[in-house]
A and B are shown apart, each in its own frame.
Chain A
Amino acid sequence: MRLNKSRGYTAFLVLNHIILAILAVLCIFPILHVAALSLSSSTAASSGKVVLFPVEFNLKSYTFVMQNNDFLRAFGVSVLRVALGVPINVLMTIIVAYPLSRKKSQFRAKTFFTWFFLITMLFGGGLIPWYMIIRETGLLDSIWALVIPNAIPVFSVILLMNYFRDIPAEFEEAAYMDGAGHWTILWKIFLPISTPTLATVTLFSLITHWNSWFDGLILMNSPTNYPLQSYMQTIIINIDPTRITQRDLDLLKLVNEKTTKSAQILIAMIPIICVYPFLQKYFTTGLVLGGIKG
């Protein structure tokens, strides 16, 4: 308690808060800037007058985005991707993490399988083999290409595995005595007490699926199948004006459409912003418990 009042500690607290506040402002600033851009007139935006507050306020870009079929369709693909991908990720994490968390006496090939999964986290085959496997398995150009190749998030598996390991053996033994098998132990005992880690795993998977864009671009054969972030990438990337030809002149005008781009970025952020606060409270406990207690 004395520590609480010591000068050094107060100084530390003050400094800590200042640094955190600066970091928070740094994080929020770009979002506010984009929000201000999306609500400004397009001439104000292109002449760089907009910083934190909208100039010549209007909602034109939002009405434009809401009528933009490409955007809405991509949004739909992303929602579908999350709806399929997140449950698959969580389910796979659970059924992989449970056996790996058992003792060697219960699961003899444990070391082999642990390395089996770990290696995929450390090494990748590279773009071409990855592409070929997905092509040969016939997943190309379907929503499953975005879901199945990443079905097992190994990092989440490690989190959950560590959490399972820390559950006192007594729970399991008691259940076993009462005649429960592995399935019952997993579903009825382990899962209900692992909610913080499960929430963390869900959040990770949700964010990964919502944010990934590269696989969409490479694996989809047509822009109509792009998930939202792949679509966003195509509109936000800068056109290289040194390679412009006569026929591309109309493309140039798109470069200056900062307001609609900003509106789309903002709308694309909304789902994650909505989910984050609800899952975030588990986030810290889930991560810490998983890591430290082991």
Chain B
Amino acid sequence: MVKEKRVMVVFLAIILIFVFSGCSKSQGNKTVPSQQKQEQKITVEGKYEPAINLVSVKAVDATVKFLENEDIHNNVWTRTYKDELGINLSYMWVVDNSQYQQKLSATVMSGQMPDAFVCDLQMFKLLYDSDMIEDITGVFEQYASPATKTVLEKDNLALLCATIEGKLMGIPITDASVASAPMLWIRRDWMRALNIDPPETMQDVLEISRRFVNEDPDRNGEADTIGLAVSKELWSAYGGLHGFFNGFHAYPHIWYERDGKLVYGTVQPEMKQALAELQGMYARGEIDKEFAVKDINKVSESIANSKCGMEFSVWWNPYSPLYLSQANYPDAYWQAYPIPSVDDKPAKSQYSAAVNSVIVIRKGYEYPEAVIKMLNFWCDNVLANPNEEIQNTLLGSLDNPDVVFYKYTDFHLWDPTTMLEAYHNVRRALAERNPAGLNIDEYKRYQIISAYFEQGIKEAWVEVATYGDKGSVSILESISRDRGMPNAFYGAPTKVMQEKMTALNAMADETITKIIMGEPLDSFDEFVNKWKAMGGDEITEEVNEWYKLNKR
């Protein structure tokens, strides 16, 4: 024991020496380029001189495009990091998004850790457990600029997602959590054709579904329409069922508090009433008889073909696939509505923390603060200062909208409230017919929405239905206020969860599909018992243990 302790002390001493020498080296070389700073209106603290190296890895996709003679290793962001911060950012490799996690695992497991990189929550937990990533609690406190902290604290779940056992182990990549909340989309032109009022209750929704099937809303003389789009995946981003269940106060797939303990929504009794209604709809032909074999691509086809007029899905659906309806049938218009409720209690849309990935830093990397500095640079200069010139140079050029610069770097954060702010700004500008004060993004939307109303450009409905008055973004706002049901569990997946959750969810999907297609409702109770026996109870225990530690 004594010997072991001694070894540990020596080891710690060595680490400390390294840490201190690293710190003093970087601090000693920091200079503040004050003159330059004023000229460029760019604020930077502590440029590294000589420049340090930071090796990362990067996922790209088909939308990442470059200016001529530039590539991922040489572009406005690599140059900016070098000139402004003294950081030579290089990439060990660049891979297509679809293979990123696999390639990252291969690289990390073969013993080659990049200095800083983005990983998903599962890998994050794994890296923490194998002690491969740096604890950045102190570094973050010391170096993060007020703007960076504000952005990360706007979504109050964000930093907690990257905190394990009280230590901040990475920087969460933020997005608006409510963006995953479902809402109700209905073909407004069909509702008008049949003289239907916007749905107030879940009963209205069922009524609309019935009338869409029976009263030929597209006036083509054929009984070829269905009431509600459902995909075989059941919970997909379009043609999903979360919204439907939410109308019955059931919240599949999320954890929420009931009598002081967290429970899993999928196995709660509220599911049954919704399932009974779905079963009825299926029997009456209001849900595609073949939904169990039709994936979201098929759902998107039936939307494009004007075969269905109602679905539950997220706010961005007009961008895809709903725009296809209008492309084929010029008068088609989908309108978003808040999820109606089955009783007098208002329905709440469920959503989970938007943090899917985390920026982590290799344990032992000499300059962990470099990552914070890059994020500071982004938050101070791009987010907090949306001046047109900077946006043009750092975000993307207006002349060539296909080339988007910010996609060249992973070290950026987004303000989760931008969307809601944009909605209010655009709305104000439209009311006053004055676009002054809008940023580039908002101005684009303003122009498109004006084109819809002033020039009758029907393709522009996509922006009207999202950022326009009473568009889907306004519904997100009410969800984030008091009509939302956030997932109370936002930690990294627990042990049994990692092992069994996929199988349990698959079992749930199978049961739900079968019940919709006509199996007796009681099989749901059987499923719940099986779910509990097959690991559900263990997971619930684990989650509640986590809840005790993290309850606020």
Interface residues of A (CB under 8 A from B): 43, 46-49, 127-128, 131-132, 135, 141, 217-218, 220-224, 233-235, 237-238, 241-247, 249-256
| A251 in contact with B62 (CB, 8 Å) | yes
Looking at the assembled complex, report how far the CB atom of A63 sits from the nearest CB atom of chain B, in whole angstroms.
18
Q: Which residue of A lies closest to B357 (CB)?
A: A243
Bound-state Cα–Cα, A238 to B406, Å: 23
CB < 8 Å neighbour of B176 from A141, A218, A241, A246: A246
Looking at the assembled complex, report how far the CB atom of B256 sits from the nearest CB atom of chain A, in whole angstroms.
20
Can you give 12 contacting A-B residue pairs, CB < 8 Å?
A47-B304, A49-B305, A131-B106, A131-B107, A221-B94, A221-B95, A234-B61, A242-B236, A249-B319, A249-B320, A251-B63, A254-B63
Q: Which residue of A lies closest to B297 (CB)?
A: A238
| A48 in contact with B301 (CB, 8 Å) | yes
Sample of 7 more A-B contacts, CB < 8 Å, known A46-B301, A48-B302, A244-B316: A223-B95, A234-B61, A241-B237, A242-B236, A245-B414, A246-B419, A252-B316
Given that A217-B96, A241-B236, A246-B414 are contacting pairs, would A223 and B60 also be in contact in the complex, using a CB cutoff of 8 Å? yes
Q: Which of B97-105, B243-251, B376-384, B427-435 lies at the interface? A: B97-105
Q: Which of B150-158, B207-215, B321-329, B518-526 lies at the interface? A: B321-329
Which residues of chain A are within 8 angstroms of B94 by Cβ–Cβ distance? Answer: 221-223
| A221 in contact with B60 (CB, 8 Å) | no
Q: For chain B residues 63-110, which have a beta carbon within 8 Å of chain A?
A: 63, 71-72, 91-99, 102-103, 106-107, 109-110
CB < 8 Å neighbour of B175 from A127, A128, A246, A254: A246
Bound-state Cα–Cα, A131 to B236, Å: 35
| B61 in contact with A251 (CB, 8 Å) | yes
Which residues of chain A are within 8 angstroms of B414 by Cβ–Cβ distance? Answer: 245-247
Q: Which residue of B lies closest to A214 (CB)?
A: B99
| B96 in contact with A135 (CB, 8 Å) | no
| A242 in contact with B93 (CB, 8 Å) | no
Q: Which residue of A lies closest to B418 (CB)?
A: A246
Looking at the assembled complex, report how far the CB atom of B94 sits from the nearest CB atom of chain A, in whole angstroms.
5
| B109 in contact with A128 (CB, 8 Å) | yes
Looking at the assembled complex, report how far the CB atom of B93 sits from the nearest CB atom of chain A, in whole angstroms.
4
| B304 in contact with A48 (CB, 8 Å) | yes
Looking at the assembled complex, report how far the CB atom of A117 sits from the nearest CB atom of chain B, in whole angstroms.
26
Q: Which residue of A lies closest to B72 (CB)?
A: A222
Nearest first, the 9 A-B pairs at minimum CB distance are A48-B301, A47-B304, A221-B93, A252-B320, A241-B237, A234-B96, A132-B110, A217-B99, A245-B175
| B304 in contact with A244 (CB, 8 Å) | no
Bound-state Cα–Cα, A128 to B111, Å: 10
Instruction: Tell me if B300 counts as interface (CB < 8 A to partner A).
Output: yes
Instruction: Tell me if B298 counts as interface (CB < 8 A to partner A).
Output: yes
Which residues of chain B are within 8 angstroms of A245 by Cβ–Cβ distance? Answer: 175, 179, 354, 414
Instruction: Tell me if B273 counts as interface (CB < 8 A to partner A).
Output: no
Looking at the assembled complex, report how far the CB atom of B526 sits from the nearest CB atom of chain A, in whole angstroms.
28
| A255 in contact with B98 (CB, 8 Å) | no
CB < 8 Å neighbour of B110 from A135, A234, A247, A255: A135
Instruction: Tell me if B508 counts as interface (CB < 8 A to partner A).
Output: no
| A43 in contact with B320 (CB, 8 Å) | no
| A47 in contact with B102 (CB, 8 Å) | no
Given that A221-B92, A241-B236 are contacting pairs, would A47 and B301 also be in contact in the complex, using a CB cutoff of 8 Å? yes
Which residues of chain B are within 8 angstroms of A254 by Cβ–Cβ distance? Answer: 62-63
| A46 in contact with B324 (CB, 8 Å) | yes
Instruction: Tell me if B296 counts as interface (CB < 8 A to partner A).
Output: yes
| A43 in contact with B327 (CB, 8 Å) | yes
Instruction: Tell me if B333 counts as interface (CB < 8 A to partner A).
Output: no
Q: For chain B residues 399-414, which have a beta carbon within 8 Å of chain A?
A: 406-407, 414
Which residues of chain B are within 8 angstroms of A220 by Cβ–Cβ distance? Answer: 93
Which residues of chain B are within 8 angstroms of A141 by Cβ–Cβ distance? Answer: 93
Which residues of chain B are within 8 angstroms of A247 by Cβ–Cβ distance? Answer: 406-407, 414
Q: Which residue of B lies closest to A240 (CB)?
A: B237
CB < 8 Å neighbour of B62 from A135, A234, A238, A249: A234
Given that A128-B109, A131-B106 are contacting pairs, would A222 and B62 also be in contact in the complex, using a CB cutoff of 8 Å? no
| B324 in contact with A234 (CB, 8 Å) | no
Which residues of chain A are within 8 angstroms of B96 by Cβ–Cβ distance? Answer: 217, 223, 233-234
| B316 in contact with A217 (CB, 8 Å) | no
Bound-state Cα–Cα, A222 to B95, Å: 6
Which residues of chain B are within 8 angstroms of A233 by Cβ–Cβ distance? Answer: 96, 98
| A46 in contact with B304 (CB, 8 Å) | yes
Q: Which residue of A lies closest to B298 (CB)?
A: A48
| A241 in contact with B296 (CB, 8 Å) | yes
Given that A217-B103, A245-B175, A253-B320 are contacting pairs, would A47 and B98 also be in contact in the complex, using a CB cutoff of 8 Å? no
| A244 in contact with B237 (CB, 8 Å) | yes
Instruction: Tell me if B356 counts as interface (CB < 8 A to partner A).
Output: yes
Looking at the assembled complex, report how far the CB atom of B376 sits from the nearest CB atom of chain A, in whole angstroms.
20
Instruction: Tell me if B122 counts as interface (CB < 8 A to partner A).
Output: no
Q: For chain B residues 222-255, which have a beta carbon within 8 Å of chain A?
A: 235-238
Q: Which residue of A lies closest to B174 (CB)?
A: A245
Q: For chain B residues 417-447, which have a beta carbon within 8 Å of chain A?
A: 418-419
Looking at the assembled complex, report how far the CB atom of B245 sits from the nearest CB atom of chain A, in whole angstroms.
16
| B102 in contact with A218 (CB, 8 Å) | yes
Bound-state Cα–Cα, A31 to B324, Å: 25
Looking at the assembled complex, report how far the CB atom of A284 sits from the nearest CB atom of chain B, in whole angstroms.
37
User: Residue-by-residue, is B172-186 near A (CB-CB < 8 Å gives 1, otherwise 0)?
Assistant: 000110011000000
| B236 in contact with A250 (CB, 8 Å) | no
Which residues of chain B are within 8 angstroms of A253 by Cβ–Cβ distance? Answer: 319-320
| A135 in contact with B99 (CB, 8 Å) | no
Q: Which residue of B lies closest to A130 (CB)?
A: B106
Q: Which residue of B lies closest to A247 (CB)?
A: B414
Looking at the assembled complex, report how far the CB atom of A219 sits from the nearest CB atom of chain B, in whole angstroms.
9
Instruction: Tell me if B36 counts as interface (CB < 8 A to partner A).
Output: no
Instruction: Tell me if B137 counts as interface (CB < 8 A to partner A).
Output: no
Looking at the assembled complex, report how far the CB atom of A161 sits from the nearest CB atom of chain B, in whole angstroms.
34
